[in-house]
Amino acid sequence: MTDNNNLPVFSVLPKHVGFIMDGNGRWAKNKGLPRSEGHKAGAKTFRKIGEYAADLGIEVVTFYAFSTENWKRPEAEVNAIMELFGDYLNEVIDRIRENEEKGIRLKFIGDRKGISPELLNLMDYTEMLTKNKSRITLNIAINYGGRHEIASAVKVIAEKTEKGEISPEDIDENMISEYLYTKGQPDPDLIIRPSGEFRTSNFLTWQGAYSELWFSDVLWPDFTEENFNEALRAYENRNRRFGGV
């Protein structure tokens, strides 16, 4: 945990921040390293930024770790990412007492089909171990796609409507939100994408309708607390009208 006396002060702080963790492969390539080394470096940044967000008092941070489209990557790279994910979960379990003071709740969002039973067991166990933590919620989006999430929610609502459990007249935006992975959480106020790309890539498609966007040329493994502060300062100065004047 960071010494709170050294933390910057913001007049406005987002409740929920989304991160599109991009640039791991390019970071590794620039250094002449295998892409897997870029993902390892990116995982360290994930830990650092997640803990820093907790120190700042942000309620929810969602990290885009693995998309539904990422399965198209080379098998060796996919396997390396999943192995790294498993190592992280085992580390959380092994250091659970040490992590008590951090107060971090872990939640995994995305389609669990296609993920190995071993990883699913680790995900379930980690969620159970941290479910009562309330300092910050870290959503890890794995096998996640925004359009897929919306389609899945609509399918469940359609099935319940067919059974007569839901009336078509009752279907509204609030109901759809209740069937998304982020049920009960505030929508992201700010979405940050490093690496020089200017798109949201199917990330929190429904929830991010009114999110402020902040882009940076910094590759994710090089993303620092200072870069995060820069994004938060930009957010602090945005005028969020939500369609009003």
Active site residues: 22, 70
Q: Decide: 53 and 136 in contact? Cβ < 8 Å.
A: yes
Q: Decide: 201 and 20 in contact? Cβ < 8 Å.
A: yes
The CB-side HSE value for 53 (13 A sphere, CA atoms) comes to 29
E strand spans, the chain: 16-20, 60-67, 104-109, 136-144, 190-193, 212-215
Q: Decide: 206 and 149 in contact? Cβ < 8 Å.
A: yes
The CB-side HSE value for 86 (13 A sphere, CA atoms) comes to 13
- The span from the CA of 205 to the CA of 147, in Å, is 7
- The span from the CA of 156 to the CA of 151, in Å, is 9
10 Å CB burial of residue 102 (0-12, 13-18, 19+) is middle
* Residue appearing with tokens 């200072």: 226
